Each structure stands twice: as C-alpha cells, then as structure tokens.
Amino acid sequence: AAMAGCGWARAVRGLLLDVSGVLYDSGADGGVPIAGSAEAVRRIKASGLKLQLCTNETQATRENFVRKLRAMGFDISVAEVTAPAPAACHLLRERGLRPHLLVHDDLVPEFAEVDKTNPNCVVLGDAAENFTYENLNEAFRLLIGMEKPILISLGKGRYYKETDGLKLDVGAYMKALEYACDVQAEVVGKPAKRFFESALAELGVPPEQAIMIGDDIVNDVGGAQQCGMRALQVRTGKFRPSDEKHPEVRPDAYVNNLAEAVDIILQHL
Amino acid sequence: AAMAGCGWARAVRGLLLDVSGVLYDSGADGGVPIAGSAEAVRRIKASGLKLQLCTNETQATRENFVRKLRAMGFDISVAEVTAPAPAACHLLRERGLRPHLLVHDDLVPEFAEVDKTNPNCVVLGDAAENFTYENLNEAFRLLIGMEKPILISLGKGRYYKETDGLKLDVGAYMKALEYACDVQAEVVGKPAKRFFESALAELGVPPEQAIMIGDDIVNDVGGAQQCGMRALQVRTGKFRPSDEKHPEVRPDAYVNNLAEAVDIILQHL
C-alpha cells in the first residue's frame, strides 16, 4: 500500500542507504541496530540489487565506522560507504588545496595523505569537543587572513541527538564562520548534488534506476530527488510526523522502516 | 574642509560617541587612549553640548567599564554610558522574560536583579572564554526546548581585534544558534533602532539635533542615520579605507579622529 502505483520501482537496480536513523540509532555504546535492518541489508545483497551507504558521518574514519556497523551485525565493507571526508580529500587534491582541519580527532587519519602545510582553506567537520573557543578563533583567523577565504564544510546539519541530549551539528559552526568571514561554505556531503553523484558512481547505477532511503526529509530525500533519484523516507531515526507536511519536499513514498522498504521493493522486481 | 557645507552642524545640541576605536584602542592592559580623545571629551563638556557614550561593550559591567575609561583619563560617569546589558534588562522586565545567560563572567552582575529561574529565553553576549562546546550546547538545548524560542543577542558584531589577534564576536555565535533553532535573534545594542533611541532619551536631545561619532560604518553610522541622526565616521579604530566606498552607508562626513570632529563641530556652533 505504501508504494501502490510505484511502477517505477520495477526499474530499480541499486539502493543508496542513509545510515544513522536507517540502519541504527546512535546512542549508548555507539548505537543500537534498528529492528530488521541487518536482515534487510542481507536481503538486498541476496536479491542482486546493488547497495551503497551514503552517510554524512564525520566522527570516525570509514574503517572505524564499518567496524562499528559490522559489530552491530551489518554485512558492509569499506568500499560500500560514501562519506564526506574521502569526498573532501578528492576535492582538495583536485584543486590543490591544503586544509587546516577543524574536525573530530578520530577523522584526522582520513586526511593523512593530504598536504596540510601552509593552509589555503579550512575544512570543518563535526568536531564535537574540538569546537573550543580557541579552535574556532584559530580557524576564523586563518580564513579571514586568506585573500579569498575557502571554507569546506562536511555537511550542514543543524543538530543531532545523543544519549546525553541534543548537540549542535557542524552546520551551526559553519554558519558562525560564514557570517564572521562573509563567505559561503562549500558543503561536501548530503544534500550536495556532487556528493550524491559520487555515491551513484560508486553504486554503478544511473539516478533513474536508484532509490535513496533515508530519515532526513531535506538532506536525504530532497537531496536525492534533486539528482533525479526516487527517494523514500523511513519513519525511524529523526523522522517526525510533521515531515509529512513538509512545504518543499515530498518523498516518493513513506515506509515504516528499512525492512518494510526492502519488502516492497523486492515485491516489485 | 571635512564638513564644508554642513550647515546642519549648527543645530547640534548633543553627541553620541562610540567608545572602542573612538576613545581608545583595545589592546594590552585593557587599551590605549587615542591621541586627543580625552581632551576632546573635556572640550565637548565645556562647550555645553550634551554627551552620551553609546557602546556595544558586553565584557564588563558599566561600572567597571567606566573605571577603565577614567583610568585612561576620560571624564565619564556611569550615567553617561548606554550599553546593551542594561537595555536588555529593561526589555526582559518589560516582557516578563527570565533569561539563561551565555555572557562574559564580568557582565553577570548587570543581571543581578533579574529573575533567572526556569528560563524562558536565552541572552547571548560576547562570552569569550565562556563560548565552550558545553555552554553552546546548553544554550541550544534550552532554546530548542522552548515552544517559541526567544534569543536575545547583545550586539551582532562579526569579530574584533585584540592584542593576541582577531576574535569571533557575539554575532557569529548568534548565527550558529539562529541556524540550529531556525529562529531570528532580537538584537539589543547598535545598530538596533530602539537602542539608539534609548541613548537619545538619556542624552535628552531629539535625533535631528544629535550627531553620532563612530568607527563602524554599519553599526554606528548606518544605525544612527536610520534613527534620523547625522553620523560621522572617524578614521581610527576599525576604520578601513574601503569603508569610504561602502555600497549602502555614506556618513555625513569623515573625520580623522574624535579631536578633529570636535574641532569642526565647535567651530559651527
């Protein structure tokens, strides 16, 4: 019923999945899998559909992120994860940029191969405890001292929930630096079109044959649709009933969770 | 020459002066008076013109701020200072608001008389070292938990200069919280019209008989002009030659410093 009339689902060859709020809920001890999601990932793979995770996670390297997912029972490899930090490294190399990093300690190894001497841009991630007054002033001074300040932000989320409460996400700090320096950040990560395009390239499927499944109405659903994909919103994670009346974004369908999405998609094949 | 043709200067009865960048430059040991400024304040008072300082300073109570100015040789009393914190207290009482304060430790005594139990708004000042990750998350959680979040910001400056380098000002943190909570802050302080109006009320002079003298093209000059005052920009403090080509704001005249402004104004009387 959720996808009645969705004839387009017959053409699907690959799925892009958001991770937090779709595969697991972040919380104590790193997170709790959402019921049926690990089994759903196995069924996707068994069906022959291609699968790629498309996440804005920037608090860990992909290797550590995948280790956490595998420990929760998800059959996922590093190559199946598209994340902002590797995409940023690609962009930095392409443009000869040398970043000053204001990111989480656990993300730093992603930038090991990148020249960071004499920085000519700032890369901002969800730095969490590294968002100190001193570190913010340091990133600001570097930016304002550049002839043409370049600020690259790994996502633009407003906030997220952890077990000890809501936390400001990277987008809030991005706005602070944008205002202080009178610049506009370049966002790497969802909902940037280029980021979805690189996930699709890794998936090996054109947008009209791919479905994005996410819990974030704007960054997952809206972003994917802008790239020509169909997109489903799950009613898990940060989903709120008010999302179903969103003024700008309307998913191609709602599903209760990833398991239900996979049930329906596989029925249509 | 700087004010040739400024016949309006004859009608002037009172002056509003910005402080940092006009009376003194902030720096080591709290600041250094700008040459001729202390004498200029004395000459204003001797002339019979009324005088009020109109500052966005929020790192100290007015009492401590005046103590610092007097130590630098300025003949100023507490009643001659219009500053954001007392204006915010007025607004809080008027609307029955109980603030959570994210401000500099030295500003807290200004809010001694205000009920701060069970907060229903957040007041943000230039908190400097108090802008920690924890304090920002705490202010954010309080705001996002309110049915209708109210954020009151003591100014909206982008940054300022201290002896050890540039620092992000309150406006950057205001933008971070605005974005995270999807609200617009109410700004108390320059360039808010209401703030200039209360400074004029304390000056006891209507806007058409008052002149604002400041170094900030937008917050001093533009803000005062919006209230019907004339405004001069000094070429001290944060003045930059590019200000003279500002796309939106044009001062009624430029002067090299406060001493020159007073010379010219007194000649016109």
Say what the pLDDT of residue B26 is: 82
HSE at residue B160, side-chain half, CA atoms within 13 A, is: 21
- Kindly report, residue by residue over B46-97, the tens digit of the pLDDT: 999 999 999 999 999 999 999 999 999 999 999 999 999 999 999 999 999 9
Q: Look at residue B35 in the predicted model and tell me its pLDDT.
A: 95
B104, B128 contact by CB (below 8 A): yes
Residue A160: predicted pLDDT = 84
The span from the CA of A84 to the CA of A77, in Å, is 17
Task: Please name every residue paired with A167 in a beta bridge, in sequence order, or none if there are none.
Answer: A160
Rounded-to-integer distance, Cα A119 and Cα A121, Å = 6
Please give the pLDDT value at position B266: 94
- What is the reported pLDDT for B162? 77
Domains of chain B in start order, with CATH, are: 12-56+190-267 (3.40.50.1000), 96-187 (3.40.50.1000)
pLDDT band at A11 (very low <50, low <70, confident <90, very high): confident
What is the overall mean pLDDT for chain B?
94
Q: pLDDT digits over B167-180, tens only?
A: 999 999 999 999 99
Percentage with pLDDT > 70 across chain B? 97
Please indicate if any CB of chain A lies within 8 Å of the CB of B165.
Answer: yes
> B101: which strand partners?
B123
Residue B11 pLDDT = 86
Model confidence at B1, pLDDT cuts 50, 70, 90, reads: low
pLDDT band, very low/low/confident/very high, at A3 (cuts 50, 70, 90): low
B48 token code pair: 């019979």
Q: Which member of B168, B177, B179 has the closest CB to residue A140?
A: B168
DSSP A146: S
Average the pLDDT over A179-183 and give the result: 97
Interface of A with B in 167-226 (CB under 8 A): 167-169, 171-173, 175-182
Kindly report the nearest CA distance between residue B47 and chain A, in angstroms.
40
The answer to whether A144 and B166 are in contact (CB under 8 A) is yes
Q: State yes or no: pLDDT of A29 exceeds 80.
A: no
Give chain B as a DSSP string: -TTTT-GGGGG--EEEE--BTTTEE--GGG-EEPTTHHHHHHHHHHHT-EEEEE----SS-HHHHHHHHHHTT----GGGEE-HHHHHHHHHHHHT--EEEES-GGGGGGGTTS--SS-SEEEE---GGG--HHHHHHHHHHHHTSSS--EEEE----EEEETTEEEE-HHHHHHHHHHHHT--PEEESTT-HHHHHHHHHHHT--GGGEEEEES-IIIIIIHHHHTT-EEEEESSTT--GGGGG-SS---SEEESSHHHHHHHHHHH-
Whether residue B30 has pLDDT greater than 80: no
Preferred mutation among B143, B174, B175 to probe A, highest tally of A CBs within 10 A: B175
Q: pLDDT, tens digit, for every residue of A200-245? A: 999 999 999 999 999 999 999 999 999 999 999 999 988 889 899 9
Cβ pair B165:A128 closer than 8 A? no
